[in-house]
Chain A
């Protein structure tokens, strides 16, 4: 029933009716205030969302984003990562280098190496290479006669073009740097773990020292100092190659142009930027 009808149907005496009108007016004002507060809160919420999208030089673990001027966007370098499983020997040097460089807590991994063994009977065995490396470790021994082929697969963050981890982050904690690195602002992270769930590659984890999500940054802080990522530098056989893929003269560009490469879980459409040489479809 509308308020207008209420007035026209009013059967009470004048004084009571006046009291009711005041009452109705008071309540209308009360409801109006509530709606104003609600809208105000929503508006307030909108502004920081645009201000804190991470592209304005937010920091990852305190590292300053060098060259953060948006005007330079077109001239910004485009980086890529190539993993050559035909070269990897499972030395584990990259694992130690990463842990030391990035202070990764025990039990969590920013990068790891898997050993794939394809047996002649069609079965596939996958194991985790320990940090001390394949040689001399307690990794399961197999009969060489039964093996069809085997190789090591280093894993790390793919810094996807359309990163689902970034998409699901409810606050501006997960963000893409101007250079295309997927980074985490640990000061903003609420620790909801939604990004951990959303990453198809299992590279994210909650760092219990910081209470925030953590993952491989491709050693962004080193790259901004014109250094190679720690894992790349530590690899004794050059199985990990990092560099500018927008420069046709760079080593990584030449390798990618020369040999066929693959990405992981391509069907998910995340646009992973780590390319692999020599993996089979069993690698997930």
Chain B
């Protein structure tokens, strides 16, 4: 039956800002980067050795800033710790503090163990401020015998194994937060955690390819062709799975045509036509699919493979951001009256503005740059 527009009067106040787009994007990068490090540490994908340490440190750097968008979003950030000290366990969100703290602790310990030999060595050889930093980082443990290193390796592998389900929980949980909201037909699907998780892996691998190419260029060395090719293959595979799931979900909604489909179809064709149809699907998924199909051909010259993989990496980082955008924004711009749409507010300034969002995205990269100065990301202790 044709209907005129009407929105519930509280709905124009869109509750979740761009900060809630950033949060799953950043934790996705964490989970994805960690998966790459686990492929090396747990599944012995030796070809990924050149990026194994970079992956781990990248995961840590992004994880360190994952809570920042949440703190900026909360109306009472001073009460943020209530979620840990007084959790209401009926809420999926109450698990956040425990999951996040467990994960960042795991990352910190694993990074420390991986770089411990270098830290210990430099604690003895370096003087001045850098010497003090390394001595602090050594945590008073200066032993690097073969036997202690063997124990380190055992712990690194154990943490990497624990870290895989932990990464899945960290990011699957984010998808669950959306997927379990039955009031919202755009979010409410059991596929949501899976889609979030697989697209997280896409973004993590894409970011690592770009970071590896960038750091190689800065260092004036050629990237390891086998490593880039392998990363590109993993990226291609993850993209295929992620895109298939996203399309499966969409086709399922359309085929089922439940009572709310009329508002969802309008959402897709009018309000998200560009960010979903053009950015997420066409430029962000279809184009990288073909780029990676070519890039992963064995006989392709390395420079061309690097160029194609790098371009695909950029497009996929945009795609995953668009996916988060379309979920978070798309789920809020139709009224729960299912009769009308509201505007998503975007501002440059303010606590939840675009400038703050940009700074949050840059901060992990600054931290990574600092880490690259402090730790030998390219000559790991295992080498």
A-to-B contact residues, CB < 8 Å: 1, 3, 6, 10, 12, 16-17, 19-20, 23-24, 26-27, 30, 34, 38, 41-42, 44-45, 48-49, 52-53, 107-109, 112, 114, 122-128, 155, 164, 166-172, 174, 188-194, 196-206, 211-212, 268, 282, 284
Q: Give chain B residues whose Cβ lies under 8 Å from the Cβ of A198.
A: 181, 183
Q: Are A167 and B8 in contact (CB under 8 A)?
A: no
In addition to A45-B85, A112-B8, A284-B339, 19 A-B residue pairs with Cβ atoms within 8 Å of each other are A3-B151, A12-B147, A19-B145, A20-B145, A23-B145, A34-B105, A44-B85, A45-B97, A49-B87, A124-B4, A128-B9, A168-B180, A170-B93, A191-B76, A192-B93, A199-B336, A202-B11, A202-B335, A202-B337
Contact call A204/B79, Cβ cutoff below 8 A: no
- Residue B6 interfacial (CB < 8 Å): yes
Contacts of A168 in B (CB 8 A): 90-93, 180-181
**B336 and A201 contact, CB distance less than 8 A:** yes
Which residues of A sit under 8 angstroms from B338, Cβ to Cβ?
284
Alpha-carbon gap, A201 to B148, bound state (A)? 60
Q: B91 contacts which chain A residues (CB < 8 A)?
A: 167-170, 194
With beta carbons under 8 angstroms apart, the residue of B76, B98, B102, B331 that contacts A212 is B76
- Interface SS of chain B: loop
In angstroms, Cα B329 to Cα A197, docked, is: 12
- Of all chain A residues, the one with the shortest Cβ separation from B93 is A170
B225 interface residue (CB < 8 Å to A): no
B355 contacts chain A at the CB level, 8 A cutoff: no
In the complex, are the beta carbons of A124 and B3 less than 8 A apart? yes
Q: How far is the CB of B292 from chain A (nearest CB, A)?
A: 35
B150 within 8 Å of A (CB atoms): yes
Q: Which residues of B contact A196 (CB under 8 A)?
A: 10, 15
| In the bound complex, CA of A63 to CA of B373 (Å) | 57
Which residues of B have CB within 8 Å of A171?
A: 79, 82-83, 86-88, 94
Alpha-carbon distance A172/B83, docked complex (angstroms):
9
Determine the chain B residues whose CB is within 8 A of the CB of A268 once the complex forms.
182-183
- Nearest Cβ in chain A — how far from B69, in angstroms? 12
B76, A194: Cβ atoms under 8 Å? Answer: no
- Chain B residues engaging chain A, CB cutoff 8 angstroms: 1-4, 6, 8-11, 13, 15-16, 73-76, 79-80, 82-94, 96-98, 101-102, 105, 109, 139, 141, 143, 145, 147-148, 150-151, 154, 177, 180-184, 331-332, 335-339
CB distance from A103 to the nearest CB of B (A): 16
Chain B residues within 8 Å of A127, by CB: 6
Kindly state the separation between the CA atoms of A203 and B96 in the bound complex, as whole angstroms: 26
CB distance from A109 to the nearest CB of B (A): 5
Residue with the greatest number of chain A CB neighbours at <10 A, chosen from B9, B102, B139: B9
- With A1-B150, A126-B4, A197-B181 known to touch, is A170 a contact of B83 (CB < 8 Å)? yes
CB-CB under 8 A from B87, the residues of chain A are: 45, 49, 170-171
**B156 shortest CB reach to chain A, Å:** 12
CA distance A3 to B153 in the complex (A): 12
A20 and B183 contact, Cβ closer than 8 Å, known pairs A45-B87, A172-B86: no
Is A6 a contact of B16 with CB atoms below 8 Å?
no
Q: Which of A6, A170, A201 touches B96 (beta carbons < 8 Å)?
A: A170
Chain B residues in 8 Å Cβ range of A53: 88
Instruction: Decide: A23 and B141 in contact? CB cutoff 8 A.
Output: yes
Whether A27 contacts B76 in the complex (CB less than 8 A), given A123-B2, A123-B3, A205-B10, comes out as no
- Nearest-Cβ distance from residue A256 to partner chain B, whole angstroms: 26
What are 18 A-B pairs at a CB distance below 8 A?
Answer: A20-B145, A26-B141, A45-B98, A52-B86, A53-B88, A114-B6, A128-B9, A155-B8, A164-B181, A166-B90, A170-B87, A171-B94, A193-B16, A198-B183, A202-B8, A202-B337, A212-B75, A284-B339
Let me know if A164 and B8 touch, CB within 8 A.
Answer: no
The minimal Cβ–Cβ distance linking A148 to chain B, given in whole angstroms, is: 12
> What CA separation (Å) do A19 and B84 show in the bound complex?
40
Q: Give chain A residues whose Cβ lies under 8 Å from the Cβ of B141.
A: 23, 26-27, 30
Knowing A45-B84, A284-B339 touch, does A1 contact B143 (C-beta < 8 A)?
Answer: no
Asked if B74 contacts A191 (CB within 8 A), the reply is yes
Q: How far is the CA of A189 from the CA of B77 in the complex (A)?
A: 10
B93 touches A189 (CB 8 A): no
Partner of B182, one of A155, A164, A206: A164
Residues of B within 8 A of A206 (CB): 13, 15, 75
Which of chain A's residues have a CB closer than 8 A to the CB of B83? Answer: 170-171, 190
A34 to chain B, nearest CB (A): 7
B88→A190 contact, CB < 8 A: no
Per the bound structure, the CA–CA distance linking A23 and B314 in Å amounts to: 45
> For B154, what are the chain A residues with a Cβ–Cβ distance below 8 Å?
1
Nearest A residue (CB) for B153: A1
> Are the CB atoms of B86 and A20 closer together than 8 Å?
no
Least CB distance, B345 to chain A, in whole angstroms: 13
A188 CA / B79 CA spacing, docked (Å): 8
